[in-house]
């Protein structure tokens, strides 16, 4: 059990469950929450017994309703830049954790909350969830990677419309544009996310890490460069015990027993 003031952290078998726990402010992310999220993700990333992570928000109203406006209003230009860079670094750690991270979006995922969800590997949303980047309404722009991740998920045309208007989308629309992967009733959300994470945690850990790296790092490369990266990672996977076990199990028509080696 990892202790944190703004988070609840627990193990559910091979899955780490992280709950943003500031329900009085709809789980808004302040500096402490970001720092604790960064530390907790670092710990979970290095824990051999954890194969996947689920991130959600406390209560029924919000996943994360955004960054803490009270903190942001006190920042000058240079301070805001540092604040943005810290948030980006934390979310980049999540995106590149090397283990699948599933966002269980249990309500509003706005601004920094939407950016947190987008940094996760997969996103499952409750039917009542609403997502968006409404920063333009506050006279600013997304600062935790939203202007970069949203176009990569939903395409440039859709992303620029959502960012410039600050329009929020419901769960059904989020599913239709590729912002989330699945929509379920609220009562089933956490179980659905944990079940998905559990299935991923049972997969070969090194192959998962290589696949995530190929997609995340390849997104910034040309097609040729990305394919070269893929070939290199495919070569690394071929040197693992898990790949040999997977191939043998297929030929022997049995369930593989992966060891993460």
Give the Cα separation of 120 and 136 in Å (integer).
Answer: 23
Q: Specify whether 115 is catalytic.
A: yes
CA angle 19, 25, 28 (to 5 degrees): 60
The answer to whether 210 and 237 are in contact (CB under 8 A) is: yes
Q: Is the Cα dihedral 26, 134, 129, 54 positive or negative?
A: negative
The answer to whether 150 and 92 are in contact (CB under 8 A) is: no
With CA atoms as reference, report the closest residue to 53 among 94, 109, 81. 94
Residue of 135, 173, 230, 241 with catalytic role: 135
Total residues found in the chain within this entry = 261
What are residue 66's phi and psi, to 5 degrees? 135, -175
Q: Specify whether 135 is catalytic.
A: yes
What are residue 129's phi and psi, to 5 degrees? -65, 150
Q: Which stretch of DSSP H or E encloses residue 9?
A: strand 7-12
Q: Starting from the edge strand earliest in sequence, which strands make up the sheet with 62-64, in order? A: 62-64, 108-110, 130-132, 169-170
The answer to whether 41 and 6 are in contact (CB under 8 A) is: no
Residue of 36, 115, 192, 230 with catalytic role: 115
Which residues are marked as active site? 115, 135
């Amino acid at each position: 059990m990892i202790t944190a003031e703004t988070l609840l952290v627990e193990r559910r078998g091979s899955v780490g469950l992280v709950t943003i726990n500031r329900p009085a402010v709809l789980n808004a992310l302040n500096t402490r929450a970001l720092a604790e999220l960064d530390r907790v993700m670092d710990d979970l990333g290095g824990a051999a017994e954890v194969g996947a992570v689920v991130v959600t928000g406390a209560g029924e109203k919000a996943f994360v309703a955004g960054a803490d406006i009270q903190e942001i209003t006190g920042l000058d230009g240079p301070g805001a830049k540092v604040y943005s860079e810290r948030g980006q670094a934390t979310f980049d750690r999540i995106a590149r954790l090397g283990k699948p991270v599933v966002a269980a979006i249990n309500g509003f995922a706005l601004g920094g909350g939407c950016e947190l969800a987008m940094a996760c590997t997969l996103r499952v949303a409750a039917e009542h969830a609403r997502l968006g980047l409404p920063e333009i309404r506050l006279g600013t722009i997304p600062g935790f990677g939203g202007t970069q991740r949203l176009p990569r998920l939903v395409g440039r045309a859709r992303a620029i419309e959502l960012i410039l208007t600050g329009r929020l989308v419901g769960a059904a629309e989020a599913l239709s544009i590729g912002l989330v992967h699945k929509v379920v009733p609220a009562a089933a959300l956490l179980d659905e996310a944990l079940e998905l994470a559990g299935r991923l945690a049972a997969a070969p850990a090194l192959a998962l890490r290589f696949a995530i790296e190929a997609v995340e790092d390849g997104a910034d490369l040309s097609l040729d460069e990305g394919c070269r990266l893929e070939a290199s990672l495919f070569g690394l996977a071929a040197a693992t015990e898990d790949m040999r076990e997977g191939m043998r199990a297929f030929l022997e028509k049995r369930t593989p027993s992966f060891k993460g080696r």
